[in-house]
Amino acid sequence: MERTIRVLSPVGDTQVKTLAAPPLPSLQGKTVGFIDNRKTNFEHLVGLLARTLKEQHGVAEVIHRQKAHAAVGATPELLAEMARTCDLVITGSGD
């Protein structure tokens, strides 16, 4: 019989069970937020996407906010504002 060895998993466990929000059935009349990482050209991408979302998908409003800089996370205050005011938030990297 083959000799076996029992090893322990080195992978950490997370307390967070769900990281993805459920999808929205429609964008009609919704408010979409963008968290801009401040890297070059993201502001152009936001402008283009905002126009497309409004003209082609019926989005009512687009909110554009920036992080302090690309290498830090969004502040709790910014996240709270976006959660309060937006139906959908897109974080992005123009690089």
Partner 1 sequence: MSPEVRLASKTVDLPDTPEAIDAYFVEHKWSDGLPVVPPTEARVRDMLAAIRRDPQESLGDMPPGWRAATIEKLAINAVMAGCLSSYFPVIVAAVEAMLDPAFNLYGVQATTHPVAPLLIVGGDYARTIGMHWGSGCFGPGHRANATIGRALRMILLNVGGAWPGHGDMATQGQPSKYSYAVAENEPDTPWEPLRVALGFRPEDSTVTVFGAEGPHNVNDHVSTTAAGILTNCCSVMTTLGSNVGWYMSQSQALLVLGPEHAATIARSGFSRRDVQEFCFNHARMALRELRLGGMYGIHEWPAWMNAIQDEDVRLPIVLSPEDILVMVAGGPGKHSAVVPNCTFSRTVTRRITI
**Residue ranges that bind partner 1, judged by CB under 8 A:** 2-16, 38-40, 68-73, 95
Q: Pick the closer one to partner 1 by CB: 29 or 73.
A: 73
Taking the complex as a whole, the smallest distance from the CB of residue 86 to partner 1 amounts, in Å, to 22
Strand 88-92 to strand 31-36: parallel, antiparallel, or no bridges (unpaired)? parallel
Q: How far is the CB of 29 from partner 1 (least distance, A)?
A: 33
Q: Which of 17, 26, 42 is nearest to 50 (CA)?
A: 42
Task: List phi, psi (to 5°) of 77.
Answer: -65, -45
CB of 62 to partner 1, least distance (A): 22
Q: Provide the β-strand partners of residue 61.
A: 31
